Amino acid sequence: MLKSLEKRKELLGLIEKIARDKGFFDVYDLSGASGMPRSTVQDWVNRFVDDGCISVLEERSGRKRAKYAMRRIRSLPASACRRIFTTVDGDIVEIFHECRSEGCIAFCEYMYAIGNPRVRKNGLILRQKVKTGPVASVANESLDLEKVTVSNGLVYQHIRTFGGPAYSLTEMMESADGVLDIKYSKKGDYVEGIVVTEALTHMAIGVDDTDDADSGATFALTLSMLDLLSSIEGVRRISHNVGFLYPDVPGKTAGNAVSYIELAVKKELVESLIQRAADYLREQTHSKDTGMAVKIGLKACPELLSFACRARNGVVTIDEAQAAARKSRVRTYEITGERGIIGAVASLGMIDSPPEALMDVKTPILTG
């Protein structure tokens, strides 16, 4: 099913490009661009005609080929939706919607939060963490995420919209990177749609102690590592974050900051990505005490949160860090030493906290 949807999106993209250049396309055009047999392409074209994605301009007549055109043409060239993707852990789903507009993301955050309080901005990414099944607790006239279901490696977001958000659903979301399919129908004044995305795995990597008194910076190295890992096919970049731990801890190089990154990845890539991250840190670190910690999945871990709180309010030990990691199914790695594991584990306890909490150790951190 997933491969079929990916092929559908690929072919529609080729059709749009050919039709934009020529004003129309035929089966020979699409076969040449895709490398697929004409018979297979014709099957897809017939399906697109039935779905309403394309229309028949001229029927086939003798040796004259049938001509087709894209049916849905946006009235405006720009889409506010840059990326839409999802991660899944059992019955928990996190939806990521990267926007090109500060105004649009603020609007969506406000509207979605009416029905789901677990909505937050992370830069220009709007994040919604939900359980599968019904979502919106309050009927909202403009924009509702009504239900989320997961089946056969795919996530289905059921959205109900009115006015401007309906335009986003019908004209913008389908062009977002990560959307495999979108179906919508008008029901009275409202538009109801289903957005289909791949069910990816959430992966967080915490790092600490990569610098020394003269060179290096953990935030810079983790950002570089995020660039490296997110360039791999099947990996989607979520975020790069910096947070502070207890400022008076002995042996700190500056303000006792830690960093962690978040990725959405295909499940089969998890082990190779961990190895790639460890190798990269080992090559680039300036410290003999670099540690790394990895959390897979979305489920909240009370022991991890508790340890992070203690690490922000006082001195903690490597034994405490390892105990919290074991109870939370967090993996730890001595890259060049064990001291950095303390900060790496603590950073993963701060994942669901906003930037103002990460920056101020006196502000309570949040649990997912």
Count how many Cα atoms sit within 13 Å of the Cα of residue 193 in the half-sphere of its side chain: 22
318 three-state secondary structure: helix
- Check residue 171 and give its pLDDT: 72
Q: Indicate if 290 and 336 belong to the same structural domain.
A: yes
Question: Are β-strands 235-244 and 291-296 bridged in parallel, bridged antiparallel, or unpaired?
Answer: unpaired
Q: Which runs of consecutive H residues, i.e. helices, occur in 161-265?
A: 164-167, 218-230
Confirm whether 266 is domain-assigned: yes
d(CA 89, CA 295): 12
Q: Indicate if 283 and 321 belong to the same structural domain.
A: yes
Q: What is the largest CA-CA distance in the chain?
A: 85
Q: Indicate if 230 and 174 belong to the same structural domain.
A: no
Q: Indicate if 227 and 328 belong to the same structural domain.
A: yes
Q: Indicate if 231 and 322 belong to the same structural domain.
A: yes
Confirm whether 274 is domain-assigned: yes
Confirm whether 300 is domain-assigned: yes
Confirm whether 75 is domain-assigned: no
Whether 100 contacts 121, CB under 8 Å: no
- Check residue 307 and give its pLDDT: 96
Confirm whether 95 is domain-assigned: yes
Q: Indicate if 210 and 355 belong to the same structural domain.
A: yes
* Residue that finishes a domain, picked among 70, 91, 121: 70
Whether 221 contacts 284, CB under 8 Å: yes
Tens of pLDDT, residues 45-87: 998 887 777 888 888 888 889 999 887 545 444 678 899 999 9
Q: Which residues contact 257 (CB under 8 A, 6 or more apart)?
A: 218, 219, 242, 243, 244, 245
Whether 132 contacts 143, CB under 8 Å: no
How far is CA 221 from its chain centroid? 21
Q: Indicate if 224 and 354 belong to the same structural domain.
A: yes
* Identity of residue 99: C
d(CA 125, CA 59): 45
Q: Indicate if 266 and 346 belong to the same structural domain.
A: yes
Q: Which domain holds residue 149?
A: 81-199
Confirm whether 332 is domain-assigned: yes
d(CA 245, CA 257): 6
* Residue that finishes a domain, picked among 37, 70, 103: 70
How many domains, in total, are found in the chain?
3
* Residue that finishes a domain, picked among 170, 199, 228: 199
If we measure between CA atoms, which residue out of 347, 316, 350, 313 comes closest to residue 332? 347
Beta-bridge partners for 179 = 197
Q: Indicate if 175 and 209 belong to the same structural domain.
A: no
- Check residue 170 and give its pLDDT: 66
Confirm whether 367 is domain-assigned: no
Which pTM value belongs to this model?
0.81
Q: Indicate if 156 and 226 belong to the same structural domain.
A: no
- Check residue 63 and give its pLDDT: 83
Within the chain, which residues score under 50 in pLDDT? 73, 75-77
- Check residue 139 and give its pLDDT: 63
Which CATH number fits the domain that encloses residue 47?
1.10.10.10
Which CATH number fits the domain that encloses residue 316?
3.30.70.2200
Question: Are β-strands 143-151 and 154-161 bridged in parallel, bridged antiparallel, or unpaired?
Answer: antiparallel
Tens of pLDDT, residues 254-293: 678 899 999 999 999 999 999 999 999 999 999 999 999 9
Q: Indicate if 50 and 147 belong to the same structural domain.
A: no
Q: Indicate if 123 and 204 belong to the same structural domain.
A: no
- Check residue 75 and give its pLDDT: 47
